[in-house]
Structure 1
Amino acid sequence: MSTDSAVSAEPAPARRLLPLIVPALAVGVVSALVLLGVSLLADRLQDVLWETLPDALSIGRYSSLWVIVMLTAIGLVAGLVIRAVPGRAGPDPATMGLVDPPLPPGVVPGLLLVTVVALAGGVSLGPENPITAANIALAFWAGRRFAPGAPAELWLALAAAGTIGALFGTPIAAALILTETLASRPGTGALWDRLFGPLAAGAAGSLTMTLAAHPSFDLSLPAYTHTHWSDLLSAVVITSAGAVLGLAAVYAFPYAHRAFRAVRSPVLALTLGGLLLGLLGALGGPLTLFKGLDEVKELAADPDGWSAGRFALMAVVKTAALLIAATCGFRGGRIFPAVFVGVSLGLCAHALVDGVPVAVAVTCGVLGVLLAVTRQGWLSLFTAAVLASDMNLIPLLCVATLPAWLLVTGRPQMQLKKDGTPLR
């Protein structure tokens, strides 16, 4: 067969991409519904644990005693659930990233259950990692059942994109993250051909979540109208400081994980982790509990409501809480707590130097911490920018990314190999 005839026998790109639309939309919608269902259940349980129950016992809702008791109890319950459910709710979460190979479908119910417990109980982790893992497992199972000829990577990409689109309320986040993922993997075809299905899934996920829950990352920060030379210096310093703080947690990650594994019993390790989280919550205050998304909006609504020392304390406490929660065995993601750390750090910088614009301080703090914690450049830049929803900040953030990236690139990641050593 001639080369010309072989080329002509291949289907045109449009004919290859069109069949992806229906499964991509379906996966995106289901991914958003799983996220929405878990979030609603966690919110309802949170109301019971932090409002109804302490009121019935005549205990202050967020008193130090209740915070310590509740987080310790949540650790015990999570440990018991993990021990009881099939598959132990998945692998060690310290070894898992945001987008990983599919888990067995039998693991999903237990994984979602323990995620609801952690989210409702005030653990400093977000829903992104376990929800993405659950949706990938479900999409892979359904895809193998109804379209066995499709490549496994397709279902992984569609589920990841649908979940990320739902989490951030926009398919752009999914496209940016998967661009980095696809760039590191061999493949054929134009990049946008490879992103076609995931982008459709991300759009379906984000639209479903937007119509159902109206999520917003916009912190309504004061408008940033004009760039000054001093702002450029401030941006570089704050972003680099955020990267250093994030790297401190990254370097401590394997040591904390090793300490909890030395306990041997997962139930005891999670109970101990819950106790430590409770002590940190009592020290840092209620705003340092939970995943952090609602809490950063409260911080940003009153940038002058706390002192520089208080903002610094909250940043350090949340960093320590993220480190403990991610290494003792709780299931959850690290993006949302890292955003809280960055916002607190940025507001600390603004409180120390009043001339630093709030929007610059907050977005650069988030950018630096996320670069260290996630090692995802596009995700970090996108998240920082979307918090302010101000295009005037984009050039400043791009410049601030460069020195911070030099600090974090080549360093260990906040994820471990099976043997407990950090990924690089």
Structure 2
Amino acid sequence: MKIAYLDNAATTPLKKEVIQVMVNALKDNSFGNPSSIQHSYGRRSKSIIEESRLKISKNINSYPSEIIFTSGGTESNNLILRSSVLYLKIQYILTSPIEHVSVLKTILDLSSKYNVYVEFIHIDNKGSLDLNDLEKKLKKYYNKRILVSLMHANNEIGNLLDIDSVGNLCKKYNAYFHSDTIQIIGNYPINMKFAPFDFATASAHKFYGPKGIGFIFIRKELIKQMKPLITGGYQEYGIRPGTENMYGIIGLSEALNLSSCSFYNYAKKMKELKWYCISELKKNIPNIVFNGLSDTNQSIPSILNIFYPKKDHLLYFHLDLMGVAISKGSSCNSYNVKQVSHVIQYIADKKFLRKMTPIRISFGFFNEKKDIDLLIDAFIKIKN
């Protein structure tokens, strides 16, 4: 049976070069504890980590010391948000109702435990942020300790945030800016020297690297103010104690390096796949509805979100049986088959929620037009 994997926003397949570099590291006696620098085994492991950190920093144009390795996106977002409240003494957090659950749930937890005041910035029915409302709220809390937490590209509808405008407002009102950049870093170019973030997050399995490894970018001026959430050794500048996942780190750095060498071609291919998919959907599925800005240039080309014009909780499984892997939204929030994601619930017209089925289609490096043809054929067979 032909198979089309179209859930790359959830996770991506490993590139063969990434597998090879990890296997090589597993085989070549790089088993030493990187903190045991008294002997060559430990120093060898330590050098692999620091060489990887340097390679990553070059690819995103940051200082090596601004990169802190973690287990992935959820830990990274938690570490930044919780450390900001505990150690930067953040009193007010401004965010949006369509952030990833690792941001929303963490912020709500901080609000209840530490009396942090949270306000949600207005989002319209296309998922676009109201910059005027953001400025109004920043002005309201001027001279307070404020953190703005907004994702660069929404992981469900693909909408792109105007990060420069948000960054300028944060600077104007003396607020810190954290961005969940997990759908961006490793897939599209980013220059941290000129980016407006104080904090950003990345996860290797979103850009053809291994699961269980990611990193935080922390602006160098803030590194010394951040402290660990768990106590232990002095690994990762004392911010994230615990023996590092060396094999994951080397896989992450190789994946990022490979992606950085082909950002232009990757983006071009994603755009071609996306517009071909949009065209075929419009041609073959009457009354289809596009969610967010996913059918415009104001979203990343690798994510497309639609309402399929029929209410069917088993649609995803029917497609899977026909060889097509798609999702209803974020994999971190998909355990309840009947529950529509908080993002779609917030922006969608209620009549669509009652009568249609939300679907996220996300393209990747290994996809071709034939995968979209398979998806369209499956939709047609289900419709008939």
Q: What's the TM-score, normalizing by structure 2? A: 0.31
Q: What's the TM-score, normalizing by structure 1? A: 0.28
The answer to which structure has the higher strand fraction is 2
The answer to which structure has the higher helix fraction is 1
